[in-house]
Amino acid sequence: MDTKLKEYLEKNDISYVLHEHERVFTVEESKKIKKSIPGLATKNLFLKSKDNFYLLLMPAESRLNTKNLRKILNLRDIKFGSPEELKRHLNTTPGSVSLFNMIYTPSVILLIDESVYKADITGFHPNDNSETLEIKNKDFKKFLNSLKSEKKIISLENE
């Protein structure tokens, strides 16, 4: 875990359990390690529209329906941000995108699927895809409240 994130979590009194594992770049690869890590596994997608950048948190096993997401956000178009935009806005590279990258920016809008928001325990990479932070719901919400960025709870399943 990078030093800045560790200091941020300590400063904001956010508890977690750190799990070290082999590097994973895809949901398919993460299935091997998921067996030993409790909670809801997540997928974190960096997206952009004409006017905004977004980080979408959703269950790892879910498939993104961009048509439904556009409808929810009232957008004409939404697509994946480039590796350069990802580095500039979230200070990371493809394969390591995470909720915790939000400490680097107030300008990316955080979209959280309702099932992730309500999960008792969730897992996110701590800005490094060779580790996973297991975080309980109360600490997840404490982290969300510590962020300066805009946040939206959305329901991807019901659309």
User: CATH number, domain at 105?
Assistant: 3.90.960.10
| Residue 159 confidence (pLDDT) | 44
Residue 7 sits in which domain range?
3-152
159 within a domain of the structure (yes/no): no
- DSSP-derived 3-state class of residue 124: strand
Whole-number pLDDT of residue 103: 94
The tens digit of pLDDT for each residue in 12-31 reads 999 999 988 766 656 666 66
Q: Please give the model's pTM, rounded to 2 decimal places.
A: 0.88
Residue 121 lies in a domain: yes
pLDDT tens, position by position, 147-157: 999 999 999 87
Is residue 156 within 8 A of residue 112, CB to CB? The reply is: no
Q: Total structural domains in the chain?
A: 1
Q: Decide if 157 is inside a domain.
A: no
| 64 located within any domain | yes
What tens digit of pLDDT does each residue of 79-122 get? Answer: 999 999 999 999 988 888 899 999 999 999 999 999 999 999 99
**DSSP labels for 25-77?**
-SHHHHHHHHTTS-SEEEEEEEEE-SS-EEEEEEETT----HHHHHHHHT-S-
* 158 within a domain of the structure (yes/no): no
Instruction: Determine the pLDDT at residue 139.
Output: 97
Structure confidence at residue 23 (pLDDT): 61
Mean pLDDT taken over the chain: 88
> What is the predicted pLDDT for the residue at 61?
85
